[in-house]
Amino acid sequence: MTEIVLNEPLDMHLHLRDGKMLQSVAPLSAYSFSGGLIMPNLIPPITDIDMLHSYRDRIKQAIGDEKFLPYMTLFFKSNYDRDFLASVSDEITAIKLYPAGITTNSEGGVQGFDIDELSPTLGAMSDLGIPLCIHGESSGFVMDREKEFIPIYESLARAFPNLKIVMEHITTANSVEALDRYENLYATITLHHLLITLDDVAGGMLQPHLFCKPIAKRPEDREALRRVAFEAHPKVMFGSDSAPHPQNAKEAPGCAAGVFTAPIALPALVTLFEEYGALDNLQRFVSDNAKAIYGINPPTKAVTLTKELMKVPQKYGEVVPMYAGEELSWSISSINY
């Protein structure tokens, strides 16, 4: 095969930041994707409707004429009022829950996981059909944080069986196994976690542009992710977790966590899926599953990729992408609406 068309590709976990960074990176996602689930962890986080409207307007201004729908989210708070959630339910696609301090701009997240304390918001979300997205990590040893969080996922899944719970950017075989234990658990998988292990990050010279949270895990974990992605398991979908930081924040003490993949995501996914004989399932992984899970209808967009080399730029503005300076086997040749 020398050409593939992906219809309405979706990025269901996307960081666009704000200000100058938003202006730089938003057009890159809007060019190749039909829509994206926009993360709310700005400073301050998106917690009310005015903030949400303002951020959405800034995104639309940044992407210009590109045909791209930002699916908006709120930053989880345990004291959201049911009437408030009812009033915004048609304007948000999900609410994102962060454990406090676990990743970028998450200091205002949940301290502990007392289900009784979280129940008013979660119960209202369940009744209103608002999905819950979770960055699922404990504060334990870094390689065990996601595994240690699984009992919390399970407790939430049992307590709120009608609530759709999305385990964001899963990285472990344990999370893959949890998918099929509970009907209401779903997951996003990133490009970089399909490609790398911890050895790529720190096995030789430290690679700051591959450092992310959750951190890349073991080869057997990557194989579990690949298995469900390549078969397009109906409960998994693509979410890049593309997380741009300026080069000087990545190549510094206290390296910022995040891998920037937005502009190379589709060519890299086609390259990977072709290598493993799974191209027939890529459409479901990058679009159809997300449409079914979230019940969304993104703008019509057909992205044609051809088997021609893509030379990845060294930088996009201030941000160094994954595969900077390297070549991918596939490239985007046309976009049709």
Helix (H, G, I), strand (E, B) or coil at 72: coil
Q: Which residue from 93, 55, 89, 14 is spatially nearest to 296, judged by alpha carbons?
A: 93
**DSSP secondary structure code for residue 40 in this structure:** -
Which is nearest to 13 in space by CA: 52, 68, 71?
71
Between CA 194 and CA 226 the distance in angstroms is: 6
* Residues 219 and 213 sit within 8 Å (Cβ to Cβ): no
**Dihedral of the alpha carbons of 12, 212, 249, 56, in degrees to the nearest 10:** 10
Closest CA relative to residue 24, chosen from 15, 33, 36: 15
Q: Please give the structure tokens belonging to residue 205.
A: 């010279």
Alpha carbon distance 325, 322 (integer Å): 9
Helices of type H across the chain:
19-32, 49-63, 82-88, 115-128, 145-159, 173-179, 191-195, 198-202, 219-230, 247-250, 265-275, 282-283, 289-294
The residues annotated as belonging to the active site are 241
Start-end of H helices in 95-167: 115-128, 145-159
Please tell me whether residue 171 adopts helix, strand or coil conformation.
coil
DSSP strand pairing (69-71 vs 3-7): unpaired
